[in-house]
Amino acid sequence: MLDPVLLRQHLSDTAARLRQTRGYELDVAALESLESERKQIQTRTQELQNLRNTRSKAIGQAKAKGEDTSALMAEVASFGDELKASEVRLDEIRAKLDTLTAGIPNLPHASVPQGSDESGNAEQHRWGTPRSFDFAVKDHVELGARKGWLDGDTAAKLSGARFTVLRGSLARLHRALAQFMLDLHVDQHGYQEANVPLLVNADSMRGTGQLPKFEDDLFATVVGEGEAASKRYLIPTSEVPLTNIVRDEIVEADALPLRMAAHSMCFRAEAGSHGRDTRGMIRQHQFEKVELVTIASPEHSYDEHERMTRCAEVVLEKLGLPYRRMLLCTGDMGFSAAKTYDLEVWLPSQDTYREISSCSNCEDFQARRMQARWRNPANGKPEPVHTLNGSGVAVGRALIAVMENYQNADGSIEVPEALRPYMGGVERID
C-alpha cells in the first residue's frame, strides 16, 4: 500500500498523480471524511484511556490507604461505556480505511513512460536475429502433436480446458529447461534456492497485492471444517510465498540484498481472458516458472532491478532465443509495481515477440502491506524494505520458444547446447 503520509498530508497531489499515471480515480471525499473522523475518535479514545488509567491508579492508591473508593469507581463506570463505544468505532473506521487503501495501485517511478496501454511501452534493446526459415513454419501445437507429445484433448478430459499433458521427449525438454534455469540462477547469479508451499493463506495473498483486488483470478480451497475452516489459495506465482518470507520481520542490513529463486507450479483462473491465447500452452490455468525475488534496501533496489532483469536475459541468450526488453508504461504495469521490464521472446509462428518474463520493482508498496522492514544502520530504526520479483523465466513459454525457433522441416526439434547436459546428451528430438 502507499505510504500513509501521502494520503494524509498530500492527498490531492497523490490523487492527481494516480489519475494521470494509472487512470485511477481515488475517492478523495471518502478518505477525507474517514480520516477526519478517525482523528476525532482517536483523540477522544486516547483521552478516555488516559482518564481511565489515572483513575485506576488513584483507586489503587486509595485502597492501599484504606480510603473510600466508591466515588472514583463511579466516575470510571460513567465513562466506561463511552470508551468502549469509541474503541469499537475506531476499529470500524480503521477497517474501512484499510479496505479503501488496499485497492489503490502503486505510484509509478519517475522513469516510467506515460501511456494508457501496451502501445505506450518503450523498447530498450534487442538481442539476437530471428531465424529465416526455408519451409513453412509450424507452431508449437503442431510440433507437439507428433507422437502425442503435447496433448490438450487428454488434459481436457482430466481437468477441463486450458490444461496440457506433456509426454516423452517433450516432457523431458520441459523439465530440462526448469533445471537449467534454476542451476543458472543459483550457481552463477547468486540466488538462494527455495522450495515453497503451493497453498498459502489470505495474509500472504494480501501481502503481495493479489487480495482483495484480484480474487477472481485465483484458485482457492477450504482447509478444515466448521469454525476451524480456513481458506487457502493456490499460488499464481512463487513470488507470493517467497516475498512473504519476510512478512512481519525486521531484516538486518548485512543480510541485504536477500536473493531467492524457486521453481514451482503456478495456478491462475485467468478470469476475463477467455479466447485469448487459449490454444496450446501460451495461457493456461496451470504452468511452471522459475521465479526470482529480491529483498533490498531502498538505496540499492533499482540496481537490483537492473541486475534481476539481466539475469533473466542471460537465460534467453544461453538458449539462443532472440528477445527484446520493454519498459512498461504507466497504464500497462501491474498493480503493485513501481517499474517493470518485460522480456519478449521471438515466436516464429506468430512473427512477433511475446512476453516470457516480467521483472518489477515494487519499492515499499508490498512491504507496507506485509510489515516487512530492515534496520537502517544510519539511524538504527526499522524501515520498510523494497521488494522485487521477476520471472527467470516462464518454463512453458520457454519450451514454446525453443520448439518453434529450433524446429526442422521434418518436424524434429534441435536441442539447444545449454540443455543437452540435462537431456542425456540428446541433440535432437525426432
Rg (alpha carbons) of the chain, rounded to whole number: 27
Q: Is 32 annotated as a binding residue?
A: no
Does residue 356 have a known ligand-binding role?
yes
Q: Is 344 annotated as a binding residue?
A: no
Q: Is 355 among the residues known to form the active site?
A: yes
36 is in an annotated binding site: no
14 known member of a binding site: no
159 is in an annotated binding site: no
Locate 243 and state its grid cell. 516475498
Q: Is 52 annotated in some ligand binding site?
A: no
Among the listed residues 206, 283, 307, 325, the single catalytic one is 283
Q: Decide if 358 is catalytic.
A: yes
239 is in an annotated binding site: yes
* Phi and psi at residue 211, to the nearest 5°: -110, 145
- Which residue reads 522450495 in cell numbers? 195
**Cα 86–chain centre separation:** 37
**397 catalytic, yes or no?**
yes
Q: Is 67 a catalytic residue?
A: no
The answer to the question of whether 389 is labelled as a binding residue is yes
Closest CA to 202 of 166, 242, 234, 159: 234
Task: Please report which helix (H) or strand (E) contains residue 87, including its range.
Answer: helix 70-102
Among candidate residues 268, 307, 369, 373, the one labeled active-site is: 268
Instruction: Check whether 270 is labelled as a binding-site residue.
Output: yes
Active-site residue flag, 19: no
Among residues 358, 363, 368, 404, which one is catalytic? 358
Q: 3-class SS at 178? A: helix
Amino acid letter, 61: Q
Binding site annotation covers 106?
no
Q: Dihedral through CA 169, CA 357, CA 409, CA 412, nearest 10?
A: -10
Spatial CB neighbours of 109, under 8 Å, sequence gap ≥ 6? 302, 338, 339, 361, 363
Is 282 marked within a binding site? no
Instruction: Return the half-sphere exposure (C-beta side, CA atoms, 13 A cut-off) of residue 105.
Output: 22
Please check if 221 is assigned to a binding site: no
Pull the grid cell for residue 91.
476499529
Q: Distances from the Cα of 293 to the Cαs of 234, 265, 331, in angstroms?
A: 18, 16, 23
Query: Which residues are annotated binding-site positions for L-serine?
Result: 237-239, 268, 291, 389, 391
Residues catalogued as catalytic: 268, 283, 355, 358, 397
Query: Which residues are annotated binding-site positions for ATP?
Result: 268-270, 355-358
Query: Which residues are annotated binding-site positions?
Result: 237-239, 268-270, 291, 355-358, 389, 391
